[in-house]
Every structure is written in structure tokens, then in C-alpha cells.
A and B are shown apart, each in its own frame.
Chain A
Amino acid sequence: MTDFDWMKIPYALLTVFIVVNFGMLLGAFIQKIGARVGRRHGIPIWQYYADLIKNYGLRTSITHGAMFYLGPVFRLTGGVGLLLFVPTIYGSYMFSNFSFAGDLILALYFVFFGTLGMALGDGESGHPNAAIGITRGLSQVTAAELPFALAVFAVALQYQTLSVTDIVAAQQGGMHNWTLFTNPLAVAAAMLGFLGSMMRPPFDVVIAPQEIPIGPPTEYHSSYLALMQTNRAIFPIAKIVIYMNLFFGGAASWPVFFLKVFALYMVSVIVGVVFPRFRVEQSIRWFLIWALPIGVLAILWV
């Protein structure tokens, strides 16, 4: 917990810059992997950059109102904030970001900042599909967040701290010190919850990416969509950073960081390409029946 100094700002921007680029490449790469599993060729690796530039460059742009306009701003603020409230690289002053502002709880609750703003903005478009997507997403996330929240609490109990840095510190000195091995139940629960929050099958009916557009992307276009795409690059990684720090020993350097984030991402990808899609009520039940009890056990076991 270090206090603020002005150098933190350029350092934080650097973090954001690295993560955005990594996220863009990773996203495209993973989409390519998904395509290859389906025996398709897939997109080029720079596709995300092309999309982003195109969307920022589009001249047609409409707005449904103030909240609609602000939705993507909320969304991206949520992603960037989440990233910056957690130290990215363990032991590095440079990449400790703004973690002086708050601990793990701040990160956990800030996740919802973007979600809420996004949902509100999208709601103002008046498109029913947007609202339906959001209701589905919210319904599912309340169930999917549970095992994760329980796991976080179990970890906090285990290490008797809410400081991400301290939790990572406690896991240093070899893989056997990772929460993965010291508290496998918590990690199992968290990883099941993880599947639910990555917008991949079997839990992707929320945005139904392959069919009719639903949820936030329904009405957002051009620069709005570009902001959301930027967020799409940051947000999963920001989230994985938390997982990595809490359960997998954190990362003391960027290469380790890239590796671990990729590996964790792949968990959801592998599950996603193997399993078909759940309806929302099915996924809610699934989380409550399979993931939740593990989370409960994790807490009782600590």
C-alpha cells in the first residue's frame, strides 16, 4: 500500500497500453483457435485492430439519448478501473497501478460499475432484444458470481488479508504455495464461476454472438462499439489478473503474466468449444447445484 505520486499516472497508462494490445492479440488468437477447432481458417491476428480502427472511423453515428451515449463510457471506465485498482505485476512499483485506493473488495465491486452503466445505456436504446440480453446476463451473473465470491472470501480467510499484494506474496516460493494447491476447493469453485463470466459457451446465450444480436451490442455501433471493443480487450484480462493473483501465484514479470493469462483464458475456451450452450435458467441451476456447494465447502474448510 503505497501512496500516490504523479509518476503513477504514466505508469498506469503504460499498463493499460500493454494490456490493451495484449488483449487485442489474445482475443483474435483465441478466436482463431476456436475456428481451427471447427476446421475453419479463422480471422487474421490483427483483425481486432482493423475492427477497432474501422469503428472509430465510421462517420455514421446516432444516439438514443444521454444515457445511451454514456453507456460505453461507463463500460470502458469499468474495465480500465478494474485493471488499475489491482497491481498487475507482483513486486513492481511501476505496475502496482492505483492499488493504494483500495483492496480486493474495491476491485470486486468495481466490476459492476461498467456492467451497470452499460446496461443502462443500452436500455435507453429501447430495443427489446437489448433489454432481454441484459436480463439474461444479469440473471446468469448473479449465479455465476456466487462461487467466485465465496472463493474470494475463502482466500481472504485463508490469508487473513484483503490486500491482493499480500495474497500474492503468500503464494511465492514455488508452485506448491499457490492457492490452487493450498486451497483447491476455493479454486475449483472460482474456476467454475470463471466459466460463467467469460461470455463463452456454454454460458454465452447472454449475448448469443452467433445469431441475432442481443444484449449490449444490439444498438451500439461505430465509436460506441469501438469503446466496447477496447473494453472487451481489457476487461477479461483485468478479471483474469484477479484470478491469477488470488489463485495462481500472481505474476512477477510480464512474460509470466502473458503466459498465465493465456493459460487461464484457455480454460474457458476449451470448455467452450467442447460443450453446447445452456439456456439461462439451466446455467443458473448449474451454478447453484455444481459450483455453489464447492464454494461453500471451500469456506467451511478454510
Chain B
Amino acid sequence: MVSPILIIALGLGTAFLLGFLKDSQRGLAWLVTLAALAGMSGVSGTWLWALAEGTAQPMDVWTAGTPPPFAINLRMALPEAALTLLISLTGLLSALSLRDALLARGRRAMAVLLVISMALCGVVLTRDVFNLFVFFELIVIATGGLVLLSEDHRAVAAGFKYMVVAQFISIFLLLGIIFAYHATGSLNLDDMTHAGLLGHPVGAIAFFMLFIALVAELKPFPANGWALDIYESAHPGFSALFSAATGAAALFAVDKLLLVGGETWLPVATGIGLVTFVAANLLALPQTHDRRLLGYSSVAQTGLVLVVLGQRDILGDQTYYIAGGILLAHAVAKAGLYWLSGLVRERHLEAWAILRNSPLLVFAFATFLALLTGLPPFPGFYAKWDLIHLLAGEGRLWLLGLILLGALVESGYLFRWFGYIIKRQAPASESLEPNAWQVIPVLVAAAMSWALAWLWGDLSGHGNLLLVLPLIFALAFLFLDDLPAWLKNSLAIAGLLAWFGLTYELYDPLRLIFAAIFLPGGALVLLASYHAHGSRTGFYPSAMLMYAGLAMLILARTSFEFFAAWELLTIGSYFLILRGKESEPHALSYLLFSLGGAFLILAGFALAAQGQADMAMAALAQVAEPLAPWVFLLLAVGFMTKTAAIGLHIWLPGAHAEAETDVSPLVSGILLKAGLYGLFVLLMAMGSQTLYGLNLTHAMLWIGAITALVGNLLAVFQEDAKRLLAYSSIGQMGYALFGLAMMNHLGWLMALMFVINHYVYKSMLFLSVGGIAKRTGTRLMYRMGGLITLMPLSFIAVLIGIIAISGVPPLSGFGGRWIFYNAILDSEARLPIIILFLAGPIAFLYLFRLIHTIFLGQLKDELRQIREAPFWIVMPQMIFVAILLVVAVVPGLVLRRVDAYITQFFPQGALNWEGLTITSQYGWWNPVAIMIIVGVIFMSIFAWLLFVNRKAQKVKQFNIVFSAERPYRPETTHHAWNFFAPYRKALGFLTVPLVTLFWNGVTDTLHAGADFVRRFYTGNGQTYAFHFIIFVLAVWGLAMGARA
């Protein structure tokens, strides 16, 4: 093995050698620089490989041939190897990104770049505090130099501010070093540990000074104004280095020091990290400047890693896996994003919309985002999972909560940005001129991201997500994205069906129903996607990601698998929803609610696992008091965000309504069932729980009932057909939730009936309405009317659909109602039942409105020429119609086995399926007889009418008279707008959007608060210095407090 000192030597030596080149040989100098950085990477890389493979042992290098304290020693072990590789690779790629600036400034600038890379590696390698000081000062000087590479003239001021603070830091560092030396007689960190630095009279103060100086390099809140200014103004190539490499090196330095400080200083580190993480994320909210935003995010991520380092006492051996996962994810992503920002000319976030011209860059951006927010399958996901579990196991719940809160805020502003990229209009001045030197680093970073995902999955104890077949299948669509849509659609359908066939044996009857909806059901809905032309970039990876999540969800045996699947389906559906024309804010609100819910689920699992890294889903049943009700609460609320229970429902209408025609049925008909599945699993395992005397399933009963009422009521007043259906879904999910929460046999059967029915009719109706909206160019129902003759098949679908939803016999909705009545007879909770009674008839109002204002009434002039919806949109609807009719006649086909399955949970109340009549304890119901009787009566009367009315003459549209006139304008004749005016007069007051106001209030408060607080970064270098002093005093207070 080559000596690690070669890393330092290569950097330093080449920097000197560059001086021998002529100033005119800039291209050569640049190549030499690259070669040196590549050499440094190579040395680190071989060490990393050897150490990881076990072919080399960690080694100490004695620089002067003697052991410490008489000479400086460097150490090369696994973390050092990884970090030096990170640093030198970042340096190498930044050298590419900085190419133009470096060539313009010549060899001196390149030497400075080499020096900073070398110094950063030095910080990582050295075990000597004074050597640390020297390397840090080199970093300061080099940073000062590299900041000037920027075209932004404000960078000069930023550099000066940095040096002001750096001076303060170096004063503390030097004083700390000399006193530590005085106390222990050595400058070596390990010697200090052995000598018990903190035990010495001046040891504590010495340690504090060292600590504060090194922590200040992490840009902790509030002493970080200088860093933000640099991030904002420096060349992005340098900012990448500053964020990824400097941050990583400084963190490692702090980590080394924390080992000296022992357990007493860990809480202080945690505190600083946590405050920084939360505050920086909050302050990032109102940012509009891209690089400054990334700066805030960098600060926050560094803070999070510091928290992890501060939790070493409980993380133990896991510390480096977790901290490394977060740190590397952050470093790669942040470097990638900074390099990417070099391709965008203007500095506000919307300007990034230009990236849309290149799917590859959008993919890179999405990768970085997923990396930063810790989504599966990236390292942050595994790290977050383990971290949260260990924290929960030790009962550090406040910490856990704040970390998740900060992460949620971070996802908020990052995904808002992603929404801008996908949806906003790039300014006219922007144009994407991919410059290879700037694109290569981005792509390398993206590739590294996936490599890290593989590595962390491989190292994790939970199995590698990248080896899970459904996910591989979904990711494969990334490579197929240029194929025509019909081909990908066929592949997708084949994949879903094949997976269902493969796994068919594995499902119990309950899971089989969900599997049938997710897989063949999904394939059925995908038929509608055949109508799309072109290659439909981005649709299939997203859709298949969602399906992969769903497929993994029902097969999940452990909480980790469950959660990973949950996150995958969330992110996939987010991308899908975002595809809608106007869906940007709605997709964001969907994602935030979903992630918030997912975090609750994560917390619930972590709490339940009690320090285990993972647990079988079935083990939820063994969670004991007093923890069980809390676990239940967290999981239930998490799942209820997905089913859009009242209070958490505001994301749904926009998300479902604004999604594309064939996406709405996916996210409504199919995706909503994931939440119900979660609730099923939860209730099956944990049953009823009581918290402070409150029966939680009883509370769910109330929530379900109120959700049903509010959803139905709001649906009545919608003018937009898809929003109407979306609110209707909220109501339907309320019913299903209610059924589950009843905790009796028939309640569950009813919930399942809703699962099946809702899938069928909501998918069908969304397709119909979507097809109509496609033809008419609007979703506003009052702009339609009289379409029955032009779109008869769509009409039939809607007709069957609304009969089914409303529960009118003879269609399948009635079965649900019948089971519902039988179920509530078994229930003691009367008041919530009354609310559900209130909700019931309201459904008729919106359903009638839906069909009347679209298909009946007066046809508009501009719509006279439209045709039936496209074949591929109508075809699945007709299949759904057939399914509804079949299920209406033989509901036992699907329900019978489930009924038997539920018996193991609730032996009482099973139905009797003998013969054609379905019998309960209270009543009976014979779907076949009903269908025949109704059919015979109907046909007889129809025949009679045909006979007496055989000469009926078909008249034209305006063959009516009212108000003594024959109307001629359909617009004024079609009664559609504010359809239920009297109802609004009577009950409109119930539709005040209190929940929306509440959540808007929350986000507005966060924004306004952050906008106010961030003003303390006045931009004055002296103020920043004051912040540093305040920070020092605060940490001193904290440390004293922690010790007391």
C-alpha cells in the first residue's frame, strides 16, 4: 500500500510544481491539477478498497519517524479513507466545474485549489491538534482565494466576512491548543484522551476552546451568516467543495475531538446540531435565491450529522454507518446541486425550470433531492431508520420529534423547488447550454448517489432495497424512457400481471383483495394509458415506482419493508400527481402530508420496536402498555393522512383533481387503499387501544363519521367535476374508516366492500370525467351539459357509477349499505352513527349533480362537434361496468372468503352465504332475486310504455317553453351553476374551510416567522462576529448546564 502521506504530498507538491510552469501554459497546468487530484483520489480509493475488503489494516503514519508526541502522526482508517476520497473526488470534479474560472486565473488559482483539497484531507488524517490548526488556517486562506473565482463581485465582501470570523476562531483554537498542551503535555489527540484532558484544572476550558473553534467551522446556527454569504456568492464549483468537502472534514475534526471530550460533551454537540438543523431548515423556507437556499440546507445537514455524532453514546458501533449515510448523502447531493446550479443563469428558484429541457438533468436533480430527504433506496433512508429506532429505544423522543420536524420542513422547501422545475416557466433569458465540464460532475454525482444507495443497502441489516424485484422493475423504466408509450404500457401491464401471478400463492384472502386491486386492478387502469402518444417521459418510472411500493407493501413482513414500500409509493405517486397541468401546489401539499404521515409511521414503528432495528409486522401485537396506545396513535394518524381523514384531508381534492386523466384513477381508486391496508394491518395486530381513558378506535369512529359528512357536504358544492369526485373520495374513505373502527365483523366486511367498490367506481368515474374533460376542454360542469347523445358510453359508465355509489339497489353499492346497517346494529357507538346518517343522503345530491350537469340539460353550442372519449379511456370503463354488474349479482364471489377470514378476529357476526341469500343475525339480502325482480318489473313497465307510447316523436334541443318564451341560449337555460342553491343557503356555513385555514395559518406562520428571524443576518461582518461571540457564550452556558 502506498503511504497515505502521499495524499498530502501530491497536493502540496503539485501546487509548488505548478509554479514552474509558464503562466501561458494554463491548459497544461489544469491537466496537471486534475492529475494530482485524481492521484489523491486514487490513493484514498485504494485505501478505502483495501480497508473495506480487509486486505489492509488501519495504519498510523509517523511523519518524522518518531511516534507522537515528538512528531505529528496521521491515521488512515476506514472513515478517513472514505472522507479523503470524498474530498479529493469533490476537488477533482470541482476542478472540472471550475475549469473556465481556473483557466482565466491561471496556475496560482489551481495551486490554491490543490492546497485546499490537500488541507481538507489533512484535517481528516491528522491526529495532532496543532497540525489541525495549520490545516484549518490553510483552508481559510485558500477559501479566501477561491471565493474570488466568482463572477459575483459581492464575493469579495463575503470572503472578508469569512476571514473576520476565522480570526476569532483561530484565537480560540490557538488558546485551546496551548492550554490543552499545557494540561497533557502532548498535542496528540489520542494522548489527550489517555491523559484525561478534562480531568485537568485548565483541561475543561482548553477543551471548550478547541471544541468551540472546531464546531464554529461547521457553520452552526446562529454563527453562520458568513458561510451563507459565501454559499450565495461563490462560484458554484467552489461552493460544492465548501459544502461537501469542508463540511465533511470539519465534522470529522469535531468527531475526533469529541472522542477526547467523552460523554460529557456529547449532549452539547447534540444540542448545537439540533438547533442548527431545525433553525437552518426553518430559515430556508422563505429563501428564493437558489445557492443561498442550498447553503441553508448544507448548514442544516451538517447540524444533523453533528446530532448523530452527539448521540454516539447510544449509537455505538452504528455511529459511522448512520452519520456516514447522512453525511455522504448530503455531500454528494449538495455538491451535485451546486454543480448543477452552474448551468442555470438566474439565481431565483423558478429559473431552474430550464432544466426541464433535459430529462437527464431533471433525473439528477430528483436523485439529489431523494438523497437529501432520505428517501429509499438512498443511504439517508437506512440511516434515518436506524437513527430513529435507536433514539426511540433510548426514549430520546424530543430529539426524535425535532429531527423529523426539521426533515419535514426541509422536504417542504426542496420539493417545492422541484415543483418549480417541473411546472414553472423558465425566464426568457434562460437557456440550457450544456457544457460538458459542468455536466460531467453532475452526472458523476448522480451515479455516485446510486452507488451509495447500493452500498448502504448492502451494508444495512435490513436487506438491500435495490435487490427487490418490483423496485428493479420500476427503475428499469428509467432506461426505457425513450421507448414509445404503448410499448412501455404493455410492459408495465405485463409486469403487474406477472408479479401478481408469481405472488398469488402468498396472499391470505384479505391481502388477496388488496393485491387484486393493486396489481391486476392497476393493470386495468393502465389500459387507459394506451391513449397517450409519444414517449410520455417520466410517466412510467413514476407510476411503476408507485406500483412497486404497493406490491412491496402487501408482501411486507417486517416494519422496515413496510416503511420502505410506503415511502416508495408515496414518492412515486407524488411524481405522478405532479404531472398534472396545474398540480404544482397540490402535489406539494400531498407530499408534505404524506411525508408527515410517513414520519409518524416511522416514529410509531420505532417506538414499537423498542431498540430493535426492525420487527415483524405481526409483532405489533406484542407491544405492551403503556407504549401500545402511543404506537397505535402514531401509526393510525400516519395511515389516516393517506386516507385523507378530516383535518388531514386538504391535500386530496387538488391532488386528485389536477392529476392527469389516467392518473386520477390510479391515485384515487388504487392509492387510497394503501392507507386502508395500513389501518387493516394495524387493527388486526393491535386491536383497540385506550389512551388516558379514551378508546382510540372510538375516536377513529368519530373521525370516520365526520370525514364522511364533511367530504360529502363539500362535494355537493363543487363546480369542478374532478374535485367533486375527489371530495366524494374523502367521504367514502370516511365510511371505510368508520367500518374499520367499529371493530366488529361486519364493520370490517363493510370496509372491505368499500375498498372494492370504491376502487371500481371511482376509477371508472375518474376515467369518464377525465375523458369528458379531455373532449370539452374544461372540468367545470356548468360549462358542459347535454352530452348524453354525444358521449353515450361515458354516460352509461357514470350512470352505473352513481347508482353504485349511492347504494341504490340493485347495484353493488347496496351491499355495502346493507352490511353497514347490520354492522351498526352491533355497535354501541350511537352518536357517530348519527353523523354518518347525516352524511348518507347528501351523496345523492352531488351524484345527481355530476350526471345532470354534464350529460343532461342543454348542450352548449361550442360542444356540438365533440366525440365520445377516446377508445382506450372508454374501454376500461366498460370493463368496470361489467365488474360492477357481476359484483352486484354475486358479491359472494369476493366477499365470502374474506368473511370467513375475518372470523378469526371477530368470531361473532359472520354472514351466512347458503344458497343465494346472504343472511345476517338481523336480516337478509338476495342480490340475485333483487336483480331479477327489479329487472322484470322494469322491463314490463318499459314494454308497456313502448306499447302505449310507440309514436313518440323525438324533438330538438329547444323544444321547450318557459317564462312564456322558447329559449335559444343553452348557457342561460342549463341549470347547473350553484346547482343546490337552497342547500347552500341552509347549510353553506358548514363549508367554511376551517382546516385549510388552519394549515395555511401554520405554514404562513412558519414562513413569516422565518422571514422575520432571518433578518438578523444583517450582512454586516461585525454583526456576524457578534453572532459568534453570542454563540460561544450560549454554548458555554449549555455546557455548564449539561454538566450541572
Residue positions of A touching B, CB distance < 8 A: 1, 4, 56, 59, 61-67, 69-70, 72-74, 76-77, 80-81, 84-85, 98, 100-106, 109-110, 112-113, 115-116, 119-120, 123-129, 131-132, 134-136, 138-143, 145-146, 149-150, 153, 156-157, 160-163, 212, 219, 222-224, 226-227, 279-282, 284-285, 288, 295-296, 299-300
Complex Cα spacing A73 to B937, Å: 9
Closest A residue to B843 by beta carbon equals: A142
Residue positions of B touching A, CB distance < 8 A: 786, 788-789, 799, 802-803, 806-809, 814, 817-818, 821-822, 824-825, 830-831, 833-834, 837-838, 840-842, 844-845, 848, 851-852, 855-858, 917, 920, 922-926, 929-930, 933-934, 937-938, 941-942, 945, 948-949, 951-955, 957-960, 962, 967, 973-976, 979-983, 985-987
Residue from B789, B945, B958 with most neighbouring chain A CB atoms (10 Å): B945
Knowing A109-B807, A128-B962, the reply to whether A299 touches B834 (Cβ < 8 A) is yes
Q: Which residues on B sit within 8 Å (CB–CB) of A81?
A: 933-934, 937
Is A131's CB under 8 angstroms from B852's CB? yes
Closest A residue to B844 by beta carbon equals: A138
Q: Which residues on B sit within 8 Å (CB–CB) of A142?
A: 841-842, 844-845, 983
Q: Which residues on B sit within 8 Å (CB–CB) of A72?
A: 945
Complex Cα spacing A245 to B799, Å: 33
Q: Which residues on B sit within 8 Å (CB–CB) of A163?
A: 922-924
Knowing A65-B788, A119-B852, A123-B852, the reply to whether A224 touches B957 (Cβ < 8 A) is no
Is A138's CB under 8 angstroms from B848's CB? yes
- Would you list the 5 A-B pairs with minimal beta carbon distance, nearest first? A162-B923, A103-B923, A123-B856, A280-B982, A281-B986
Complex Cα spacing A183 to B967, Å: 53
Closest B residue to A103 by beta carbon equals: B923
Contact of A160 among B825, B844, B957 (CB under 8 A): B825
Closest B residue to A280 by beta carbon equals: B982
Complex Cα spacing A256 to B139, Å: 103
Is B983's CB under 8 angstroms from A284's CB? yes
Give me 19 other A-B pairs in contact (C-beta within 8 A), A115-B844, A126-B973 excluded: A61-B949, A62-B953, A62-B959, A70-B942, A73-B938, A101-B930, A105-B925, A120-B852, A135-B981, A138-B848, A142-B842, A153-B821, A160-B922, A161-B923, A163-B923, A227-B941, A281-B982, A281-B986, A284-B982
Q: Which residues on B sit within 8 Å (CB–CB) of A77?
A: 934, 937-938, 941
Closest B residue to A144 by beta carbon equals: B841
Contact of B786 among A74, A126, A143, A150 (CB under 8 A): A126
Knowing A116-B844, A120-B856, A128-B974, the reply to whether A279 touches B982 (Cβ < 8 A) is yes
Complex Cα spacing A145 to B837, Å: 9
Closest A residue to B984 by beta carbon equals: A281
Is B809's CB under 8 angstroms from A116's CB? no
Contact of A102 among B857, B858, B926, B981 (CB under 8 A): B926
Determine how close the nearest CB of chain B comes to the CB of A83; give it in whole angstroms: 10
Is A222's CB under 8 angstroms from B949's CB? yes
Determine how close the nearest CB of chain B comes to the CB of A22; give it in whole angstroms: 19
Closest B residue to A112 by beta carbon equals: B808
Is A109's CB under 8 angstroms from B929's CB? no
| Dominant SS among interface residues on chain A | helix
Is B983's CB under 8 angstroms from A61's CB? no
Closest A residue to B785 by beta carbon equals: A126
Once A and B bind, how many residue pairs between them come within 8 Å at the CB atom?
236
Is A135's CB under 8 angstroms from B808's CB? no
Residue from A64, A160, A280 with most neighbouring chain B CB atoms (10 Å): A64
Closest B residue to A116 by beta carbon equals: B808
Q: Which residues on B sit within 8 Å (CB–CB) of A104?
A: 923
Task: Pick 20 A–B contacts, CB within 8 A, sort by A.
Answer: A1-B917, A59-B951, A61-B953, A72-B945, A74-B938, A77-B934, A85-B933, A100-B924, A100-B926, A115-B844, A126-B957, A126-B958, A142-B842, A143-B986, A149-B841, A153-B837, A156-B821, A160-B825, A163-B923, A295-B834
Determine how close the nearest CB of chain B comes to the CB of A268; give it in whole angstroms: 20
Q: Which residues on A sit within 8 Å (CB–CB) of B834?
A: 150, 295-296, 299
Q: Which residues on A sit within 8 Å (CB–CB) of B856?
A: 67, 120, 123-124, 126, 131
Is B983's CB under 8 angstroms from A113's CB? no
Determine how close the nearest CB of chain A comes to the CB of B1029; give it in whole angstroms: 65
Closest B residue to A67 by beta carbon equals: B788
Is A62's CB under 8 angstroms from B980's CB? no
Closest A residue to B834 by beta carbon equals: A296
Is B799's CB under 8 angstroms from A120's CB? yes
Q: Which residues on A sit within 8 Å (CB–CB) of B848?
A: 116, 119-120, 134, 138
Q: Which residues on A sit within 8 Å (CB–CB) of B937?
A: 77, 80-81, 84
Knowing A62-B953, A112-B806, the reply to whether A125 touches B960 (Cβ < 8 A) is yes
Determine how close the nearest CB of chain A comes to the CB of B711; give it in whole angstroms: 15
Q: Which residues on A sit within 8 Å (CB–CB) of B953?
A: 61-63
Knowing A62-B953, A113-B809, A138-B844, the reply to whether A281 touches B983 (Cβ < 8 A) is yes
Q: Which residues on B sit within 8 Å (CB–CB) of A284?
A: 982-983, 986-987
Is A101's CB under 8 angstroms from B933's CB? yes
Closest B residue to A302 by beta carbon equals: B830
Contact of A149 among B802, B808, B837 (CB under 8 A): B837
Is A135's CB under 8 angstroms from B979's CB? yes
Complex Cα spacing A162 to B817, Å: 13
Is B962's CB under 8 angstroms from A139's CB? no
Is B975's CB under 8 angstroms from A128's CB? yes
Complex Cα spacing A107 to B922, Å: 15
